[in-house]
Amino acid sequence: MIVLLFTGGTISMRHDAAAGGAIPSLSGKDILALAPGIDQIAKLEIDDWGAHPGPHMTVERMWTLRNRIVHHLGRPEVDGVVVTHGTDALEETAYLIARSVQDEKPVVVTGAMRTSSDLGWDGPGNLAAAVRVAASPMARGAGVLVVMSDRVFAAVDVTKAHTHALDAFESPGLGPLGVVDDGRVIFRRALPAPPAILAPTAPAEPVDIVYAFAGADSRLLDASRETGRAVVIAAMGRGNVPPAMVGGIERWIRDDKPVVITSRALRGRVGCTYGYPGGGRRLAELGAIFAGPLRPQQARIDVILALGAGLGVAEVRELLESL
């Protein structure tokens, strides 16, 4: 049996004249009624967990959802879980689940780029493909997966790369794990090695992401430091920042709070290539932590889980710099 855990998102939306746009309107039962044939793929159970647009997901809600998934995975009659989710935050929730849940049973996250009021609503097709993957023996032990537009991605490396296209999701530099082709689930590349699971009692917040840009200074870093547990910097290129941000970074480090360097670029690792003021080499010498290939939103999830598990700055460094 596959549990369909509905959380909202575009897949559940219709255009509402009063609101002037799309809003969550459909329950899980409503969506299945508009997607005939999915119940022929596997025995299904509906869990109408929520009706949240993607931007309404918070870390607290993600963690509550994660715990609900763990509950279903622990039931012996359940073979896998499919989660519908708003695409704006889908990758963050999927990554949090992947980093904090370890189970042989598959968890497959999906959604839609079009509402049920639009021509070409992709919700039923994406949901059917996700159920096929969750029911496939090939998905056992594959960790958390994301299925969109008949493509299967690993939750640890997928991102939303387009604002509106049906094939909006990509794994930059890697490509999908596989495809759903004429009802068959086909894996085409090796699964990434699973990282060590981080399963705290609850994540630690707040952890902000501060974006580097030409001419950026330390104002946002200093504002975040007042209450922040750690900060993730979406740096330029290889992991560099404008010189005016360096003072803010130094103040975070003096407070013994993790400063994590990532890149705003979609592909590649951060590193200590450049030695000018604000360059990666200088930031590393100050004590900043380099998060390898992680995108900013991924590194943030790792940090809130690590701090929630009681890891200190040195342990966060060891975790992220080993990736």
Structural domain includes residue 199: no
| 234 DSSP β-pair partners | 211, 262
The structure's pTM equals 0.97
In this structure, of 30-39, 70-79, 216-225, 283-292, the range with the lowest mean pLDDT score is 30-39
pLDDT at 238: 98
pLDDT in tens, 159-177: 999 999 999 999 999 999 9
Name 291's Cβ contacts closer than 8 Å, sequence gap at least 6: 232, 260, 261, 262, 270, 298, 299, 302, 320, 321, 323
Q: Judge if 107 and 214 occupy the same domain.
A: no
Q: Judge if 111 and 220 occupy the same domain.
A: no
Looking up residue 225, the CATH number of its domain turns out to be: 3.40.50.40
pLDDT at 194: 75
Instruction: Give the rounded percent of residues in the chain with a pLDDT score beyond 90.
Output: 96
Catalytic residue among 10, 110, 159, 262: 10
Looking up residue 178, the CATH number of its domain turns out to be: 3.40.50.1170
Does the structure show a pLDDT above 80 at 310? Answer: yes
Domain limits at 144?
2-187
pLDDT in tens, 143-156: 999 999 999 999 99
Residue 253 to residue 237: CA distance in whole angstroms: 22
Structural domain includes residue 192: no
pLDDT in tens, 87-132: 999 999 999 999 999 999 999 999 999 999 999 999 999 999 999 9
10 part of the active site: yes
Give the residue among 101, 103, 126 at the shortest CA–CA distance from 116.
Answer: 126
Q: CA dihedral defined by 291, 296, 300, 302, rounded to 10 degrees?
A: -40
Query: If DSSP codes are grouped into helix, strand and coil, which group holds residue 185?
Result: strand
Q: Judge if 41 and 174 occupy the same domain.
A: yes
Q: Judge if 291 and 162 occupy the same domain.
A: no
